[in-house]
Amino acid sequence: MPVLELMDLPAALPAYAPVAGLDLGEKTIGVAMSDATRTVASPLELIRKTKFTQDAARLFALMAGRGAKGLVIGLPVNMDGTEGARCQSVRAFGRNILRLDPSLPIAFWDERWSTQAVQRLMTEEADLSRARRAELVDKMAAAYILQGALDRLGYG
């Protein structure tokens, strides 16, 4: 299955199956998961990047444990709407995931403001320490990305 446009994702998914969301960083992968009705996204785990096959195995294990049947990956689009090297890297990650599981429905979602929004929330609203924010930001950003996609699809 090729990478899908976000609006085509629901047709590729079984009813009542969660969707995973990813925020790909340079050193970590933030993972979030929706509920079965795809209404609410929640932060799940932070994967510290090692080798792609190990990272993918952990992602697939998390998805299997929650019954997730689709994946939304945050795409770091430039502020002017263009795609740079980071987008190419994220798209390559998606293609590599598809090589391991060609049947997995995958879509990308513009993540332009996700990390900044989450950092602002954790600083201003939650008053978390810098160390605690660093520990949480990527998986919280993954939930923010996934929630945005779910809202756009009309679930949230």
The neighbouring-strand residues paired with 23 are 30
Q: Average pLDDT for residues 133-144, to the nearest whole number?
A: 77
Nearest to 106 by CA among 45, 15, 41, 21: 21
Per-residue pLDDT, 102: 96
Q: Which pTM value belongs to this model?
A: 0.88
* Domain 6-11+18-153 CATH (choose: 2.70.98.10, 3.40.50.1370, 3.20.20.150, 3.30.420.140): 3.30.420.140
Alpha carbon distances (Å) from 106 to 79, 96, 103, 118, 138: 23, 11, 9, 23, 19
The domain ranges of the chain are 6-11+18-153
For 115-119, 133-137, 152-156, which range has the lowest pLDDT when averaged over its residues?
115-119
Tell me the C-alpha distance between 95 and 104, whole Å: 11
Q: What six digits make up the tokens of 27?
A: 């050193």
The pLDDT tens digits of the residues spanning 14-58 come to 999 999 999 999 999 999 999 999 999 999 999 999 999 999 999
Mean pLDDT of the chain: 88
CB atoms within 10 A of CB 58: 16
Q: Average pLDDT for residues 74-98, to the nearest whole number?
A: 92
Q: Average pLDDT for residues 74-100, to the nearest whole number?
A: 93
